[in-house]
Amino acid sequence: MKKYFFLLLLLLVAVLPMSAHTINYVLDKEDAGSVFWKYLVLGYEHIIPLGFDHILFILCVFFLNTNIKQIILQASMFTVAHSITLGLAMYGIIKPPTNIVEPLIALSIVFLAVENIYSNKVKPWRMVMVFLFGMVHGMGFAGALAGLGMPQNAFATALISFNVGVELGQLSIILLMYFCVSKVFSRQLWYRSRVVIPASLIIAMVAAYWTIERIFFLA
């Protein structure tokens, strides 16, 4: 159901009138299938290996939950959210300032990492926070696509395939962590104290450093 909702949102954005966006005239000459594949790969690469901050966010989602279905559900909510703001930004409907968005992305990681340390289960409002933070991350994704440009003849295709690539990147991280970490160790009594808390603490420290760095570097 979430997948269909995600695709519906992208299609709704796709039919909005185009306004301000950079056109990639090289890709504009290629067919829709070629564009779909190239932006799918770009979306995947924006997570693995280039999106270290987004990887840490997904790891924060992963560490507080041992149920793979709930983890994927949260990741899908994140995808739906960032798809909305990414689409709005690429169509020029919103113009998020980089000097505000980038520190907020780092701060969102700090928030979830700290919650992982002090909470031992997923609370109902966690989904809301993941969704809201996903909208912030979508504004960050827009910066990457804006620099590359979008093919005007397959704008919606490129936008959708980029988001599919991002989702596949997220699922790759989740499945890798699940089979290598959670499935093997999560039932151990020491899993939270020796894995979840130390990992979340390291993530929080890295993201806190990024927050401070981005506030002063991008000011």
Instruction: Tell me the pLDDT tens digit for each residue of 31-76.
Output: 667 888 988 998 999 899 888 999 999 999 999 888 888 898 888 8
Average pLDDT, integer, range 97-113: 92
pLDDT band at 29 (very low <50, low <70, confident <90, very high): low
pTM for the whole structure: 0.82
DSSP character at residue 154: G
Interatomic CA distance for residues 124 and 134, integer angstroms: 16
DSSP character at residue 93: S
Backbone angles phi, psi at 168, to 5 degrees: -65, -35
Those residues whose C-beta lies under 8 Å from the C-beta of residue 106, and which sit 6 or more positions away, are 53, 207, 208, 210, 211, 214
DSSP character at residue 119: -
Interatomic CA distance for residues 29 and 192, integer angstroms: 52
DSSP character at residue 194: I
Which of 4-8, 85-89, 107-111, 138-142 has the largest mean confidence?
107-111
pLDDT number for residue 65: 84
Those residues whose C-beta lies under 8 Å from the C-beta of residue 91, and which sit 6 or more positions away, are 13, 16, 17, 18, 19, 20, 21
Give the residue among 29, 42, 10, 25 at the shortest CA–CA distance from 150.
25
How far lies 100's CA from each of 18, 149, 189, in Å?
25, 22, 41
pLDDT number for residue 169: 94
pLDDT surpasses 90 at 123? no
Interatomic CA distance for residues 45 and 213, integer angstroms: 24
Residue 143, helix vs strand vs coil: helix
Instruction: Name 23's bridge partners.
Output: 150
